[in-house]
Amino acid sequence: GGQLTGVVIAASAPALLVAFGAQSQGYPAFGAFLGLLSVLTLVLTVPIWRRTPITGTGLSFSGLGQAGGLRLLALALVNSLPVAITSTLFLFFVEDRLQLPGKAGPLLILFFLSAGASVPLWAKLSNRIGPKQTLIIAMPLSIAGFIGAATLSAGNLTGFAVICLASGAALGADMVVLPAMFSVVLTRAGLNASAAFGIWSFAGKLGLALAAFFTLPLLERSGFTPGQTNSAQALDTLNLAYAVLPCILKVGAFGMVLTLPTEVTSK
């Protein structure tokens, strides 16, 4: 929830600052705002850093493998790729594929607001029916969103807004349930949580790097140029990269969830 709140603030603050008279598209004022927010965060979190850390046993790949953590890390990487790809190409898809200039910002905020609002609901559902069953409900939402995005016609703002709501809600489940499952594995095995979650975070960042590494050169080879008139082939490639490829990857992640053993996903 905190991460999603930060994303929404980062996406909306420059425009809000411009509305209050900030210059240079609001970014100098935005930088000052982030600096003040960092200082405030430091002051408010001082009690956290004074706590005595609780360390587990030394972390090793064999230990993670025996506990089931490596399987969840692989799932985290595969599952992060669809969101990483769509995050990389979101602006291009909205502005060039859907022909909705100036709508990318509000749609992105809608996406993350939906994710943030869904977090308590997914957490409650996970406590009731279990994390694996919750993902089995949430992941098809994301798959349906990718299918819907691939079939949208240019100018369909309402349709894409609905897709942002659905896929944002699905992202909320990913952000709540998967780390909770990983935490259960670490707790059960008595492993060092700080190092393990460092690897978990790395898996997500690796997904973002891989998304940019593969999709941007693909678009360049197709002749796609952002903000310009593009050929049908270039736009088809953008559609393939933004919606079809992530859909395939999400189906793969869904399959990985279906094969998770019950003992890995139980509380």
Asked whether the predicted pLDDT for residue 267 surpasses 60, the reply is no
pLDDT in tens, 234-262: 999 999 999 999 999 999 999 999 998 76
pLDDT at 9 over 70: yes
Residue 221 has pLDDT above 80, yes or no: yes
Give the C-alpha distances (Å, rounded to integers) separating 111 from 52, 106, 235: 38, 9, 23
Type of residue numbered 102 = G
pLDDT of residue 55: 62
- Residue 1: the pLDDT is 75
> Nearest 5°: phi and psi at 13?
-60, -45
Average pLDDT value over all residues in the chain: 88
Residue 95 · residue 226 · CB < 8 Å: yes
Task: Provide the β-strand partners of residue 191.
Answer: 57
pLDDT for 32-75, tens place per residue?
Answer: 999 999 999 999 999 888 887 666 666 677 777 777 888 888 99
Compute how many other C-beta atoms are within 10 angstroms of the C-beta atom of residue 97: 23
Q: Which pLDDT score is estimated for 182?
A: 86
Domains in the chain, CATH or no CATH each: 1-52 (no CATH), 60-265 (1.20.1250.20)
Count of C-beta atoms within a 10 Å radius of residue 253: 24
